[in-house]
Structure 1
């Protein structure tokens, strides 16, 4: 159900809060579902539109796309496969791209044919970029025109919010990965130090010699130094391989 024009004007002030509430804590709901919820909200806030799609590029192999209708998802697929259409153009130019009437707009033959085949006459694609993340939001109409202010409306606000959220989540996940790597490195270092102490006791040598023994055995047996050290600690040096 479309919101009336006066309600749209009143709602725009709450678009960001509504979008933020939908996105919420991404640990609670799968990412794809959050993006789909925002996508579903867009045409409700943009009068005269029949649907919307969002596509996210965040450096991973896949570019997840959500659409309010399967036919619109197919339009995105056509563009990405052919590298032709409003979405590739918007990503390449980093500027909004409008097709006011696909009946006369001949810039993208494949996209145009597919869109007209599903009854789409007009579309507007808005690109957003932040910290290695690119998001496109596209709104569609069954009639020509009517998207002159798309770049300043609710779709733009929600697109920016979505991009900021993806970028923030990406940084957060990278930080967690770094913490895990540091934790693993510190744990490995502690185990290696324990193993060196055991080798020093068994061989009656100093720290540098003990570490050299472990490293030499690691290379000769093709085992990671941390794994070898853990085995030495677990066996208290009784199963220390010959180096």
Structure 2
């Protein structure tokens, strides 16, 4: 970590850009560091409100320097520190001097070992997503009003960008799932028709039989349907009727 402020001004927040959350968080951390003249490094994290700081896996994080990784990791492990506090309360958290700080003992120890004396975390929430920006300093008294305003502007705009991209990815995933369902539906319908003819059952029962066999054999429904269609249902009656749970469940007559 450098003891000097970055020479260049941060690029406009609107140019944070698109991409995977981790790469965008790195850019956000870099811009936050550039906004704070006394900053020696910065970190940015992204959490979904349902997971929070106690999630089993560490949330996506962007760092200006790898030396900051232990400072972030100890907060996720202990559930204490400025980042978890900011996520829980929705309010800024930090300290002007860690030597005089009695909260977050585990974080305090790791931070002081790294030479960090002050830190400030700003949280930004939008549509169920929380982004935090943490700036660290080698000296006490890191944040002034001008630094806080500039960091807040960068963080807020970045959060909206991250949420927008996340929603876009969700839409693409849903569209892909719908496309898959549309393309695979005909073969499932054919398999159901074969079962209806062989077993003398209705469409709902035929689909339920396919679904249960798919779960029990740990195979995809569409793959099982392709097998039924490819074999033209040969052997299906013997296999299905020999399964007692179908009889007990009332799907087929005894």
Q: TM-score, normalised by structure 1?
A: 0.75
Alpha-carbon deviations, 1:40-86, whole Å to 9, x = none? Answer: 23212321211101122135843122222233221112222222221
Tell me, yes or no, if the aligned pair for 1:119 and 1:142 is still in contact at 8 Å.
yes
1:49 equivalent in alignment to 2:39: yes
3-state DSSP of counterpart to 1:139: strand
Q: Would the alpha carbon gap of residues 226 and 73 (structure 1) be closer, same or farther in structure 2, given more than 3 Å must change? A: closer
1:15 equivalent in alignment to 2:12: yes
1:147 equivalent in alignment to 2:143: yes
Q: Within 5 Å, which residues of 2 pair with 1:82-161?
A: 82-149=78-145, 150-153=147-150, 155-161=151-157
**Cα RMSD for the two superposed structures:** 3.3
Q: Would the alpha carbon gap of residues 112 and 210 (structure 1) be closer, same or farther in structure 2, given more than 3 Å must change? A: closer
- Quote how far apart the aligned CAs of 1:156 are: 1.6
Alpha-carbon deviations, 1:85-108, whole Å to 9, x = none? Answer: 211211121101231122223223
Q: Would the alpha carbon gap of residues 209 and 18 (structure 1) be closer, same or farther in structure 2, given more than 3 Å must change? A: closer
Tell me, yes or no, if the aligned pair for 1:87 and 1:125 is still in contact at 8 Å.
yes
3-state DSSP of counterpart to 2:75: helix
| Aligned counterpart in structure 2 of residue 71 of structure 1, from 57, 64, 67 | 67
Alpha-carbon deviations, 1:104-133, whole Å to 9, x = none? Answer: 232233322332222222111101112221
Tell me, yes or no, if the aligned pair for 1:214 and 1:225 is still in contact at 8 Å.
no
Q: Within 5 Å, which residues of 2 pair with 1:220-235?
A: 222=216, 226-235=222-231
3-state DSSP of counterpart to 2:122: strand
Alpha-carbon deviations, 1:152-177, whole Å to 9, x = none? Answer: 21x22222233223322322222223
- Unaligned 5+ residue runs, structure 2? 242-254
- Quote how far apart the aligned CAs of 1:147 are: 0.3
Tell me, yes or no, if the aligned pair for 2:95 and 2:118 is still in contact at 8 Å.
yes
1:80 equivalent in alignment to 2:76: yes
- Quote how far apart the aligned CAs of 1:198 are: 5.4
1:241 equivalent in alignment to 2:236: yes
Q: 1: CA distance between counterparts of 2:62 and 2:103?
A: 24
Count of matched residue positions in the alignment of Structure 1 and Structure 2? 225
Q: TM-score, normalised by structure 2?
A: 0.72
